[in-house]
Amino acid sequence: MTYPTDRPATWFVTGASRGLGLELVKRLLDRGDNVAATSRSAERLTLALEGTDTSRLHALTVDLTDEPRVSQAIASTKELFGTLDVVVNNAGYGYLAAVEEVSDADARAMFDVQIFGVWNVLRSVLPGFRENRSGHIINVSSILGLLSFPGWGLYGSGKFALEALTESLAAEVAEHGIKVNLVEPGYMRTDFLRPVSIGLPESTNDAYPAIREMVRQHLEQIPGTQLGDPAVAATAIITVATTGTAPLHQLLGSDSLGLAEGRVQGLTADISASRDLAMTTDIAAA
């Protein structure tokens, strides 16, 4: 286990000004840990933490696609707190559209945050973690990193990619004493489905009425009814770090768990149905 027990831990959390990230920062500060927290506006983050003791907070305005700025943020965290123990890659936003409706610019913007921004953070922290033979990386994915639905193709693509990146990373750095986890929440009662956190296409196609209805429901009916409690989910992430015993894929929420179980059943059925044709494509033995 890499979590320190003899001093306050130092955390680096991205996407910290709203939702799960904000709840996590609040609970870490309440614990007395050191927290470097990034968002697109450090001022907004500080305002959101009004009433919380921020004496151990390092609030940073960081564009995660700016690799030099990310490196500076990591360096300043270590300089201020003397160490870095846990990194939580949490930044992200939703997007609802048919695959055909997603523009090239919107697709690239999503991957800039969900993949290339994460990669910038990883490149900055891994050398120090390897040198210390300790450290913990927690990448916040989604149940949509394990399965996707109509209208969620762009968001799910980013989370699927994050899952692949994280699985490779976990296997690569285990020998260096570095712990890696994915957390896969279901629907949480945050502002994720509000205009501030959700993207929509510039133009839509009349060929997808079911997706239009899905979008309407997500924007008008679902907010406020989600099962997941972001405060409890934040505590669960702390548990993942402090115990060091969580599986690589840590589901959060009963809806996430049920969907994952259904995904396993569906994949098992596909494997069975694929068997006969799969066995015909090997090179014949001499």
- Proportion of the chain above pLDDT 90, given as a percent: 86
- Tens digits of residue pLDDT in 95-154: 999 999 999 999 999 999 999 999 999 999 999 999 999 999 999 999 999 999 999 999
Q: How far apart are CA 162 and CA 28, in angstroms?
A: 24
- The per-residue pLDDT for range 51-60, each reduced to its tens digit, is 999 999 999 9
Q: Mean pLDDT, to the nearest integer, of 42-51?
A: 91
Residue among 147, 152, 145 nearest 166 (CA):
145
Task: Name the residue ranges covered by the structural domains of the chain.
Answer: 10-255
Q: How confident is the model at residue 236 (pLDDT cuts 50, 70, 90)?
A: very high
Residue 69 half-sphere exposure, CB side, CA atoms within 13 Å?
11
Beta bridge partners of 34: 10
pLDDT of residue 164: 98
Annotate 150-192 with DSSP letters as a single string: TTBHHHHHHHHHHHHHHHHHHHHHGGGT-EEEEEEE--BSSST
pLDDT, residue 135, reads 97
Distance separating alpha carbons of residues 80 and 74, to the nearest angstrom: 10
What's the whole-model pTM score? 0.95
pLDDT tens by residue, 114-130: 999 999 999 999 999 99
Using the predicted structure, report yes or no on whether residue 1 has a pLDDT greater than 60: no
| Mean pLDDT (the chain, rounded) | 95
pLDDT tens-place string over residues 213-231: 999 998 888 888 888 889 9
Three-state SS at 26: helix
Where does the pLDDT of residue 192 fall: very low under 50, low under 70, confident under 90, or very high at 90 and above?
confident
Q: Which residues are catalytic?
A: 141, 155, 159
How is 190-247 classified by DSSP, letter by letter? Answer: SSTTSTTTEE--SS--TT-HHHHHHHHHHHHTSTT--SB-HHHHHHHHHHHHHH----
Give dist(CA 144, CA 149) in Å, integer: 8
Tokens 């306050």 correspond to 8
- pLDDT tens-digit readout, 6-38: 899 999 999 998 899 999 999 999 999 999 999
Distance CA 13, CA 136 (A): 12
Give the angle subtended at the CA of 28 by the CAs of 24 and 34, to the nearest 5°: 125
| Predicted local confidence at residue 286, as pLDDT | 79
- Max Cα-Cα span within the chain: 75
CA dist., res. 138 & res. 182, Å (int): 6
Spatial CA neighbour of 30 closest among 61, 1, 51, 3: 51
The CA distances from residue 121 to 19, 57, 137, 181, in Å, are 20, 19, 10, 15
10-255 to CATH, choices 3.40.570.10, 3.30.9.10, 3.40.50.720, 3.10.20.740: 3.40.50.720
